[in-house]
Amino acid sequence: MAKGNLNRRKKAKELKKAKEQRQKEKLERLAHVDPRRIRRRIHDLESKRERNNGRLVVSEQRQLDSLIKDLEFITKKNLSQFDNEETKPPQDQEIQEPPIELGIKTPKNHKNITYPLKTPYKYEIDPEVSNIPIPKSPPPRFFKIQQSQTVYESAPEVQKPLNITSTTTKFIPSTVRNKQKLTQNKEQDYEQEQYASEEEEALGIKRKADSIDE
């Protein structure tokens, strides 16, 4: 029993020592953390969760929980030195007003800084610089001169008419060639028959005319 109690006490001391060590490390880590950044990050994650119907990625949810705990720890231990610096600006110090579109105004009891367009300060020109002679050549151009480019174009191609008798007949099949010859022969025979019939009609008309004259 005594040995068991000693082991429990020893284990409790080790756990207490480890807890104090973790607490010390956490204090050292959060002592130099700006709570404003933590609040901004918490706000970003919460707004993202609202956009996603109350859901976040597991890693982002863990990060949000950790940031909330760290912020509570900072406020509890009064480690927010950055907040004090933000709320208590040094006295007799002029604060420049940010642009108007940001919607931020200069704090009360502080003068806004306005700078003129031209500086009121004048400086004497160095004599070594003023004695440098200006070159007489024309000043360098700030733009690139467009160089003329010659464009070459080829002449249009003239297609020669195909010689049907010499070129295309070589590639015509024999059956098609025979049919073409038959049609050509038939056309020639038909023309000869018409010519013969016309001659016969002319002879008949001439004979009739001769018989009438007799």
For residue 67, how many C-alpha atoms fall within 13 Å in the half-sphere facing its CB?
Answer: 19
Q: Is residue 15 part of a domain?
A: yes
Q: Domains in the chain: how many in total?
A: 2
CA 38 vs CA 41, 60, 102, 188: distances in Å: 5, 14, 22, 107
| Domain boundary pick from 67, 88, 109 | 88
CA 180 vs CA 64, 114, 161, 174: distances in Å: 93, 102, 21, 10
Helix axes 58-77, 35-51, angle to 10 degrees: 140
Q: Is residue 166 part of a domain?
A: no
Q: Is residue 213 part of a domain?
A: yes
Q: What is the pLDDT of residue 93?
A: 46
d(CA 35, CA 69): 12
Query: Phi, psi (5° rounding) for residue 94?
Result: -80, 135
Q: What is the pLDDT of residue 82?
A: 54
Per-residue pLDDT of the chain (214 residues; tens, 9 = 90+): 566 677 788 888 888 888 888 878 877 777 777 888 888 989 998 988 888 888 888 888 888 898 888 888 888 777 655 554 444 444 544 445 444 444 456 666 777 666 666 666 777 888 888 888 888 888 777 777 777 778 777 777 766 665 555 555 556 777 777 777 778 777 777 777 776 677 677 666 666 666 665 5
Q: Is residue 19 part of a domain?
A: yes
* Contact call for residues 67 and 38 (beta carbons, < 8 A): yes
Q: What is the pLDDT of residue 100?
A: 47
Q: Token match 């004497």: residue?
A: 124
b/e sequence 77-100, b meaning 16+ C-beta within 10 Å: eebbeebeeeeeeeeeeeeeeeee
* Contact call for residues 70 and 38 (beta carbons, < 8 A): yes
Q: Is residue 106 part of a domain?
A: no
Q: Token match 């609040």: residue?
A: 39
Q: Is residue 54 part of a domain?
A: yes
Residue numbers of the domain that contains 19:
2-88
Q: What is the pLDDT of residue 209?
A: 63
d(CA 32, CA 18): 22
Q: What is the pLDDT of residue 101?
A: 45
The torsion of the CA quartet 82, 88, 92, 97, rounded to 10 degrees, works out to 70
Q: Is residue 6 part of a domain?
A: yes
| Domain boundary pick from 56, 88, 120 | 88
